[in-house]
Structures are given as structure tokens and as C-alpha cells.
Amino acid sequence: MAHRHEVIVVGAGGAGLATALYAAREGADVAVVTKLYPTRSHTGAAQGGIGAALGNVEEDHWEWHMFDTVKGGDYLTDQDAAEVFAKEVIEAVLELEHMGLPFDRLPNGRIAQRRFGGHTKDWGKAPVHRAAHAADRTGHMILQTLYQQCVKHNITFYNEFHVTDVILEDGVAKGLVALELATGELHLFQAKAIVIASGGFGRIYKVTSNAYTLTGDLQAILYRKGLPLEDMEFYQFHPTGLYPLGILLTEGARGEGGILRNALGERFMERYAPTIKDLAPRDMVARAMYLEVREGRGVGPKKDHVLLDLTHLPPEVIEKKLPDITEFSRIYLGVDPLKEPVPVMPTAHYAMGGIPTTLWGQVIRDEKNTVVPGLYAAGEAACVSLHGANRLGTNSLGDLVVFGRRAGIHAARFAKDADYHELTEAHLGESRERIERLKRSTGKEKVARLRAELQQSMMDHASVFRTGELLAKQVEILKELMERYQHISLDDKGDAYNTELVEALELGYLLEVSEALVHSALNRTESRGAHAREDYPERDDQNWLKHTLAYKVADGKVAFRYKPVVLGRFEPKARTY
């Protein structure tokens, strides 16, 4: 079946819905293609807040927010993106409120704000109340509110459609191919502009806060087609994953006064970040936790985690401001945060890297910022690069509204002056062949087993601390896994709701993004932000103040180019907190 829309958005998380909404407001005919139902996307899991210098609780300025973002990103952040972001996120939060988002309120009726990691006043002097929040389900409320607005604007949704191909010819994006889960049928989508907003790929790791469905599909599809992925070596581990499941416990818990403690009961962050302590950026806290465990001060029979202590907080703060994480802890661990500290350990959380774009979401193909006409990206799937080497808490929600809006507006305007491209059934060929091969295969390999091996090996060799030796080992493991992937066979040969087929396709994508990540990490011989090389422990601005662009040459073979970092307001300095 064939469909035609001026702007087609892939993904119905916050970035996708913001894009769709603003493109529709520009007058474009918009459709959203999503592999889930709307409101199932993982923006809904974001808890703590959306940072904006509203100044509702105390003095704040967008320049401070911009500075924190650049410093938090260990100076790999493009400063033009950070400036646009810090200014526009204020307006974006107010617009969300106007759309009906139920932010928590201050006694004077204004939007309430809380402290969050790495967000400071007066250029790093002390934590600042910047994160606008709705209890600890801010992401849920953003997702719901944006979907409500899409319903209001009658935007077309193709639910449970898995994109299997992006049609790129003559350097131009022409359309999409997608598998309809209900029927197994392949659909052809003709579009003047396509916006990729399909989220991240935390499922490359064993322990992750990410949904089962976050498998980097579109990053992998574009990477296979020869487009670059930017800064893939920078992958964020969130410090407080519920141990051992990895379910996210918001940094807002520390924003409200929670403290990390080791087996000796010490507030160990005092040693690593004397000024802002537990509210240091995530990369630093995650490393500190690993070091505490490594040095024998871990908790539990295996001494392999630490504790998040909320017991000193007033019970009403915990119940009112952190109800969901309190429930997670009670349900999954049987631990009541009011009475005892909660076991935590870092959990794979967010890809700073992704599909490189301009400030308007246009996908670029090289270090000269050459645009791929008709192709856009926004949100975690994209790399603009706002987050640099390490994203600050709350900036993902801000990112998806600010840059989703920009991508939507630009895509709609582009579509007005563009024509549709001719597409034929032949464009389904590549997808059909890939699916048929999987269904026909009688190989001995199974999806679940290969995936488990991938996730464990990525955890062991390419997570918080890295060395050249371990990364080189992982390069070889990935090559072997890619080879074995060719011999996967399925139990389910049917068409309707073949979720096993979907998992097989997704595993293919996971392998691709893992390859880009591991090769980029091996290539970058310095430590910066979330990329910590024990064999190269220092930041090296001389050689590495630049973005990585990774291009796939063949399985196991990756080529690199480099894009300069956009500097400006803030010169790179040592990063202490």
C-alpha cells in the first residue's frame, strides 16, 4: 500500500510529536509513523523535569543555563546550539504550559522548579532551581500533552509501523518503507520531508533505563546507507538506576536533597565534587560510583552497588514530589525509601551522539555541513550537538521540544516549495528481501541469545570506563556477532503481529549502532565527558576538541572524519565542580 504526506515524522515520542505539531501549525499535511502506540514512547519515562531559566524560585539567566550546558558537555557542545537552546527552552516551557501541561505550582501560582545535576547559578557557584516539573512524571506529562495537541490538530498516525528503509537517491530523501505489524505488509510512504525522531538505543547494554523498543533503528538504517553518525562514543550512564534492574530513579531525588552513600555510610561525592557534591553532572557521579565499588566500598553481598539515601527527607516531600520512584523501589525491590536507602548503580541511559544535524534539524552528510535535502532529525536520535560529551539532566526534554519545533517548522516550509518524488514498488525490494531472508533462514542462531551476548559484552567492554584493549576486543566480538547474525532463524514465519521478526530486525540495528559506538570510542584517544579512557585519562583539546563523524565502510570497517566544535562565548577550561 502507498501513502503520501508532505511531512512524515518517524517516532511518536516527545521530539516526534513536537515536530508533527509545529509542522501542522505551519500548514503542512503531516503524518507520524510509529512502531508503538502514541503515549507508549519512552519520553514518558522521563521523570525529573525540564530545565529553563524561568527564574520562578530564584534569580536565573539563560546565559547561566547555556554555560552549564557547555561545561556539562565538557566543551564538546556546539555553543551556537547551546545558545539557541537556553533562550528558546524558556519559551518552549511556557508554550507547554499554555497547551495545558500540569506543571507543579508555587504558592504564587507560577511553575515550580527544582534543583538538578550540573545546573548552577552564577557560573557554577551553587545549584540553582531550574527544572520545571510535574511530580516525578514530567516526561509522561510532556508526552501526554503533546499527543493531546496532535489529537486536537487531527494529525494522521500510522501506529505499530516499523520503518525498514529510508529511500535516499541522488543525495535526496524521497520516502520511507515500513512494515505494518498487524498484517506484515510493507507500505511505501512518499514524503517531501522526513523527520527522524525515533529515539535512542540503550538496549545495546545489559543494564539500561531504556525501553525494550529503543534499538537505534533509524540511526542504523542511515548508517548502513553511508550517512555518518556523530559522536557515538559519548553514551551516558545515569547514576541512579534501581539495582539490579536499571530502572531510572530521577536525579530529582538528589535535587530534593537525596544523598549517595557507600558501604561505610560516607557521602562520597564530597570527595569528587566538593562544591555541588551529589548534584555533579552524571558522567562524574557514575564514575565516582564505579570507583567506590572498585575500591571495595560497595554495598551488598557482592559489594557491587551503592545506596541512594532519602531517609532524612520529610516523608511528604518523598510522597508528593517523588511518588513514582518511591513506588518503583517498593514494588521491584521491596525497599521503602522512607525507611531505608535504595540500592542503585549506573544504568545506560542516553546517547549524546546520533544523526548529525544543523540548528534547524537538517541532516548533514559531512564535516562541511552539506545538507541532505528533505531529511531531518530531532531528539535523542539526532546530534545537533547540544549535549556534547555529556548531557545535563533535564536537557533532553528541553532538547526535544526546542529542536523538535525547529525541525517541524523547517520541514514544513521546505515541503511547501518541494515536489514529491516518484516511487515504485521496486523501492520495497530491499526491505522485502531482508525480511524474507530472515523468515526463510534455517540457521542455528537465535535472536535472544545473540542479543544477550551483545548486551553483556558491550557492558563489559564499552560502558563507563574504557581501555583500548577492551574496545579492540569488542571490535572483534561485534564482527563475530554480525557474522552469526546472518544465521538467525525464526520460529514465527507468519505475517500478523510477528514480533519475533521485529526483534530480529532490531537486533540488526543494535549491532550497527554498537559498531559505530565502539569504533568511535577506540578511535578517540582522550577522556572527555562520558567517554572515559583509562589509558588516556586526560582531556586533550589540542587533538580532540572536535566531533567524530563515523561512516560505515563494511561490517567491522569504519572511516572517520571530524567536524570542528562551534566555540564562541566560553573558552574550554578544566571541568571541576
Partner 1 sequence: MQVTLKILRFDPGKNAKPEWHTYQVEAEPTDRVLDLLHKVKWEQDGTLAFRRSCGHGICGSDAMLINGRNRLACKTLVKDLGSVITVEPIRGLPVEKDLVVDMEPFFAAYRAVKPYLINEEPPPARERLQSPEERERYDQGTKCILCASCTTSCPVFWVNGTYLGPAAIVQAHRFLFDSRDRGKRERFKALGSASGVWRCRTAYNCTEACPREIPVTQLIEEVKRAILFDRF
Active site residues: 282
SS3 readout for 81-103: HHHHHHHHHHHHHHHHHHCCCCC
Q: How far is the CB of 150 from partner 1 (least distance, A)?
A: 9
Work out how close the CB of 491 gets to partner 1 at its nearest, in angstroms, rounded to a whole number. Answer: 3
Residue 82 or 351: the one with the smaller Cβ distance to partner 1 is 351
φ and ψ at residue 103, rounded to 5 degrees: -65, 150
109: left (phi over 0), alpha (psi -120 to 50) or beta: left
User: By the 8 A CB rule, do 337 and 257 touch?
Assistant: no
Q: Which is nearer to partner 1, 211 or 260 (CB)?
A: 211
Please say which residue, 102 or 296, places its beta carbon nearer to partner 1: 102
Nearest-angstrom CA–CA distance, 92 and 52: 9
Compare residues 242 and 530 and give the one whose CB is closer to partner 1: 242
What residues have CB less than 8 Å from 424, skipping those under 6 apart?
Answer: none
At its nearest, how many Å lie between partner 1 and the CB of residue 157?
9
Task: Report yes or no: 264 and 296 within 8 Å, Cβ to Cβ.
Answer: no
Distance between CA 506 and CA 499 in Å, rounded? 10
Among residues 54 and 70, whose Cβ is nearest to partner 1? 54
| Beta carbon of residue 318, minimum distance to partner 1 (angstroms, whole number) | 16
Return the residue matching grid coordinates 557514575. 286
Between 144 and 396, name the residue whose CB sits nearer to partner 1.
144
Smallest distance from partner 1 to CB 493, Å: 9
CA dist 229 and 551 (Å) reads 7
Task: Note whether 10 and 163 are within 8 A (CB).
Answer: yes
Determine contact, residues 213/227, Cβ cutoff 8 Å.
no
Judged by the rule CB under 8 A, the positions of this chain that interact with partner 1 are: 36-37, 39-42, 44-45, 94, 97-100, 102-111, 134, 137, 140-141, 144, 148-149, 151-152, 182, 211-213, 245, 247, 324, 328, 331-334, 446-448, 490-492, 494-500
| Minimum distance, C-beta of residue 254 to partner 1, in the bound complex (Å) | 20
Q: Which is nearer to partner 1, 191 or 218 (CB)?
A: 218
Spell out the residues 6+ positions from residue 54 whose beta carbon is closer than 8 angstroms to its own.
Answer: 60, 90, 93, 94, 110, 111, 113, 130, 132
Looking up cell 529510508, which residue turns up? 166
| Strand-pair partners of 546 | 564
Q: How many CB atoms lie within 10 A of CB 97?
A: 16
Give the count of beta carbons closer than 10 Å to the beta carbon of residue 36.
18
Which alpha helices (DSSP H) does 29-78 contain, by range?
Answer: 62-72
Can you give the three-state secondary structure of 486-506, one letter per residue? CCECCCCCCCCCCHHHHHHHH
The least CB distance from residue 183 to partner 1, in Å, is 10
Three-state SS for 166? strand
Shortest CB 90 distance to partner 1, Å: 10
The distance of closest approach from Cβ of residue 8 to partner 1 in the complex, given in angstroms and rounded to an integer, is: 20
Burial of 491 (0-12, 13-18, 19+ CB in 10 A): exposed
Which grid cell is 325?
520512584
Cross-strand partners of 248: 241
* Residue placing its CB nearer to partner 1 in the complex, 316 or 571: 316
The contacts of residue 265 (CB under 8 Å, 6+ apart) are none
Characterise 149 by phi-psi region: left (phi > 0), alpha (psi -120 to 50), beta (else).
alpha
State in angstroms the smallest separation of the CB of 247 from partner 1: 5
Rounded to 10 deg, the angle between the 499-523 and 217-224 helix axes is 70
CB-wise, 40 or 413, nearer to partner 1? 40
* CB-nearer residue toward partner 1: 349 or 524: 349
